[in-house]
């Protein structure tokens, strides 16, 4: 029940953000730019922020690096593995290495206390030791940009595809048309095109994943991946 409630709360938190975004595009664009340019904005907030939280809440926090999960793992799956550690969706950040092929290398977890971290280690031992959990520093946690399950990556985009083709592929889904951006990721010796699309909510992103995955775009089958 606690996990369900935390899941509901996390969805509530996500839900609260939506009206602000839908009412006007300016906050969304600003927030999006902030997410994309976190690296440059990190130094200025670092200096004023550390003193106040360092006193009381900073000491209780403990960070871990979780690995060994499969490609299809969701945040709820990892919260199920780390059961009883009082984690919410916001306490998990999937790390997608820049320049990689959008395969998550690890998940950085923010534990409320050291005892929660120890309990997580015991849970992993109980699960057959399929996973690994290591200590991590806060410096590793802060720079990661969370996608919150709202961004979908379209793998296998043809070379001659344009934004209109992506629009047609995603017809019927609720997404932000202006958020379509193309990347080039390095596969096995060859570079591939990937399109990132931001949806209005987690539900819409999963709906697109369920209905549009492995469909055709200009004679090519597209593989969708929901970034967590």
Q: Report the interface residues with another protein, using CB under 8 A.
A: 3-4, 8, 11-12, 15, 22-25, 29, 69-74, 76-77, 80-81, 126-128, 130, 163-164, 172-174, 177-178, 201, 203-204, 206-207, 209-211, 213-214, 223, 226
Q: Could you tell me the sign of the dihedral formed by the alpha carbons of 167, 170, 176, 181, in that order?
A: negative
Q: Return the number of the residue (110 or 225) whose C-beta is nearest another protein.
A: 225
Length of the chain: 228
Give 137 or 162: the residue with its C-beta nearer to another protein: 162
What's the closest the beta carbon of residue 184 comes to another protein, in angstroms? Answer: 21
Give 39 or 162: the residue with its C-beta nearer to another protein.
Answer: 162
Residue 102 DSSP label: S
Nearer to another protein, 61 or 127 (CB): 127
Is 158:218 a contact under the CB 8 Å cutoff?
Answer: yes
Number of H helices, E strands in the chain: 11, 10
CA proximity to 176, closest of 48, 24, 8, 72: 24
Rounded distance between C-alpha atoms, residue 37 and residue 102, angstroms: 18
Distance CA 210, CA 126 (A): 32
In the complex, the smallest distance separating the C-beta of residue 138 from another protein, rounded to whole angstroms, is 28
> Which residue number, 151 or 226, has a Cβ lying nearer to another protein?
226
Least CB distance to another protein at residue 198 (A): 13
Closest by Cα among 177, 82, 72 to 126 = 82
Minimum Å gap between C-beta 12 and another protein is: 6
Least distance CB 72 / another protein (angstroms): 4
Contact between 173 and 212 (Cβ < 8 Å): yes
CA dist 184 and 165 (Å) reads 17
d(CA 81, CA 79) in angstroms, rounded, equals 5
When the beta carbons of 140 and 213 are compared against another protein, the nearer one is 213
- In whole angstroms, the minimum distance from the beta carbon of 152 to another protein comes to 13
């Amino acid at each position: 029940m606690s996990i369900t409630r935390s899941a509901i709360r996390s969805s509530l938190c996500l839900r609260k953000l939506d009206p602000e975004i839908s009412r006007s595009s300016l906050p969304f664009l600003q927030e999006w730019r902030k997410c994309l340019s976190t690296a440059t904005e990190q130094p200025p907030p670092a200096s004023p922020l550390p003193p106040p939280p360092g006193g009381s809440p900073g000491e209780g926090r403990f960070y871990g690096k979780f690995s060994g999960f499969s490609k299809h793992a969701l945040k709820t799956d990892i919260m199920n593995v780390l059961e009883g550690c009082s984690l919410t969706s916001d306490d998990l950040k999937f790390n997608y290495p820049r320049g990689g092929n959008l395969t998550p290398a690890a998940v950085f977890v923010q534990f409320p206390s050291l005892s929660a971290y120890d309990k997580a280690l015991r849970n992993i031992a109980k699960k057959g030791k399929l996973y690994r959990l290591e200590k991590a520093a806060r410096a590793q946690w802060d720079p990661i940009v969370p996608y919150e399950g709202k961004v979908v990556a379209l793998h296998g985009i043809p070379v001659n595809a344009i934004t209109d083709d992506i629009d047609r592929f995603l017809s019927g889904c609720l997404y932000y048309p202006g958020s379509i951006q193309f990347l080039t990721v390095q596969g096995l010796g060859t570079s591939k095109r990937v399109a990132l699309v931001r949806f209005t909510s987690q539900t819409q992103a999963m709906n697109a994943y369920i209905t549009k995955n492995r469909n055709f775009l200009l004679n090519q089958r597209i593989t969708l991946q929901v970034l967590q």
